[in-house]
Amino acid sequence: MTKSMRRVSISLFVSLGLVAAVSLSAVPGSPSAHAAESAVGLGNAGSFAVLGAATVTNTGPTVVSGDLGVNSGSAVTGFPPGIVNNGTIHTADALSGLAQKDLVTAYNDAAGRTPTQTGLLALDGLTLAPGVYSGGALALGGTLTLNGGANDVFIFQASSTLITGTGSRVLLTGGATACNVFWQVASSATIDAGSAFVGTVMALTSVTAKTGAQVSGRLLARTGGVTMDANVITRPTSCATSGTATPATPVPGRAKFTG
């Protein structure tokens, strides 16, 4: 084979390799074919660690970091002995009303995302990459690991309930943050005793955190109440989010919410 022929063969080989690489990246369902998910915009609901519709009820020395509110009901009980840090209690006021309105928008946004994977039920022992995960009655009895960077988004869609077991936990690795983990629950959510849970729970009906459960995220209920018992609920702050979030409607006398 002449030098000229060898040069032509090498060029053809390289060209075919590039074409193959491009073709593989465009195959539907391949990791590179999935566009990165944007964060769910919470608007005015974003400043809340706890938000109920009918009631917010607490037993024991619960610590809530972030706003706590209720709307359209007005009953907040158990504060004290519960305390609210880095936030304010809002009962049927303008901000809690706007927060509930924005929660509906956020809930519908999460519910409308196209799943990366469907058919999930038990989450125990799974290690998941960023994406949208859909299932029926989601259950966590052990450890769920979410592996991704600070801007990566994880969205879980439960067509029924979300129930965690005693002592279960959500573990973040690779730089993933609680800011970008969202749970859209079409019924009610229960975070069982001693759980270490991560993410913003948006339940159509109600949310219950049992004795000693800790949540790095938010407990948001659209139509029912939020019930707590000696919990630590911490709203994520200084979030690095991908995409554009739903803007918060300005509220007179309140600094613009940005985190």
Kindly report, residue by residue over 66-89, the tens digit of the pLDDT: 999 999 999 999 999 999 999 999
Determine the Cα–Cα distance for residues 204 and 46; give it in Å rounded to an integer.
17
Q: How many domains does the chain have?
A: 1
Helix (H, G, I), strand (E, B) or coil at 19: helix
Residue 62: inside a domain: yes
Of the candidates 249, 234, 226, 248, the residue with the CA atom closest to the CA atom of residue 69 = 226
Residue pair 94/67 in contact by the 8 Å Cβ criterion: no
Residue 129: inside a domain: yes
Residue pair 95/69 in contact by the 8 Å Cβ criterion: yes
* Segment 141-153 mean pLDDT: 97
pLDDT band, residue 95 (cuts 50/70/90): very high
Q: Is the pLDDT of residue 11 over 90?
A: no
Residue pair 180/194 in contact by the 8 Å Cβ criterion: no
Q: How far apart are the first and last CA of the chain?
A: 66
pTM here is 0.84
- φ and ψ at residue 133, rounded to 5 degrees: -120, 125
Residue 156: inside a domain: yes
Domain that holds residue 166: 43-234
Q: Which of 10-14, 24-28, 101-105, 108-112 has the lowest mean pLDDT?
A: 24-28
pLDDT in tens, 161-188: 999 999 999 999 999 999 999 999 999 9
* Segment 223-238 mean pLDDT: 95
Residue 6: inside a domain: no
pLDDT recorded at residue 9: 46
Residue 126: inside a domain: yes
pLDDT recorded at residue 18: 36
